[in-house]
């Protein structure tokens, strides 16, 4: 009788352990299955300014932007696209994080260029000459080194708090110019080199902050190599109309530059 009781007890324990294991595995599987939504955060490089076919909002979200292209190719369970033209880190915190939740499986974001004064820098470079350009670029580089890291940390922390299960892909910015390229007019070569150097600073700081939060960094500079302004096969607008599309990726820059980088990391 004692043997039978012990056998029964052993069988019951084994069954309970198996059930516990199965329940845990099922819960993990359910969690993984649930966290399949995609949210695209960020600034004009994410919303697709310069790529055309906009949604009619002030954010100028393009049907040709890389988030829309990734969505079409991968059919996530849900898709939210709050990325907006002109967005800074504070705008992401105030206006874009509401789309994130426990079912978000993928987040993409490009942010930081507007915080560093990208638009004002390019305006100074184009309209005020080399000296003003170099001064403005140096101001941007100082901001990137001293102030932007903390701004990025705040955004990245907030993303994790709102979407704890998400894979986060932080996308950088391309070099604006091909140096010693085929541009015969426009800003000086020294100004072009300074702008590219500021882009390098921005990418390096962003990559480090992303890595320290456990996020993937997508460096788009190699993808845009040979397609910068002055390359002869540009995936970036120079000065154009509408003016706000100047110095932004074209539809080809979104599909050939940004999309493959996201696909490789998502």
Of the residues 20, 21, 44, 199, which is catalytic?
A: 44
Report whether 202 contacts 118 (CB < 8 A): no
Q: Which of 184, 191, 248, 255 is catalytic?
A: 248
Q: Show the tokens assigned to 113.
A: 């260029």
78: annotated active-site residue: no
Handedness of CA 14, 17, 20, 24 (dihedral sign): negative
Cβ burial of 181 (10 Å; 0-12, 13-18, 19+) is: middle
Under 8 Å between Cβ of 264 and 68? no
The angle that helices 189-212 and 129-146 make with each other, rounded to 10 degrees, is: 10
Active site residue 46: no
Catalytic residue positions, numbered: 44, 248
């Amino acid at each position: 009788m004692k043997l039978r009781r012990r056998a029964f007890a052993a069988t019951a324990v084994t069954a309970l352990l198996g059930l516990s294991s199965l329940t845990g595995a099922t819960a993990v599987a359910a969690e993984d299955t649930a966290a399949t939504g995609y949210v695209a955060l960020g600034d004009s490089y994410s919303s697709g300014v310069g790529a055309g076919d906009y949604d009619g909002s002030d954010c100028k979200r393009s049907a040709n932007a890389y988030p829309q292209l990734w969505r079409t190719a991968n059919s996530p369970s849900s898709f939210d696209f709050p990325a907006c033209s002109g967005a800074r880190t504070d705008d992401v915190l105030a206006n874009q994080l509401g789309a994130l939740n426990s079912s978000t499986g993928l987040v993409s974001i490009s942010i930081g260029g507007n915080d560093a004064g990208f638009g004002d820098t390019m305006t100074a470079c184009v309209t005020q000459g080399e000296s003003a350009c170099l001064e403005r670029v140096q101001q941007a580089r100082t901001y990137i080194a001293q102030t932007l890291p903390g701004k990025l940390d705040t955004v990245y922390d907030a993303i994790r708090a709102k979407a704890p299960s998400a894979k986060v892909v932080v996308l950088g910015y391309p070099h604006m110019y091909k140096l010693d390229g085929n541009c015969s007019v426009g800003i000086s070569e020294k100004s072009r080199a300074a702008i590219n150097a500021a882009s390098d600073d921005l990418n390096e700081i962003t990559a480090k902050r992303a890595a320290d939060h456990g996020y993937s960094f997508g460096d788009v500079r190699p993808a845009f190599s040979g397609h910068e302004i002055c390359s002869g096969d540009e995936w970036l607008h120079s000065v154009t109309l509408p003016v706000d599309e100047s110095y932004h990726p074209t539809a080809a820059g979104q599909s050939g530059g940004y999309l493959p980088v996201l696909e490789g990391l998502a």
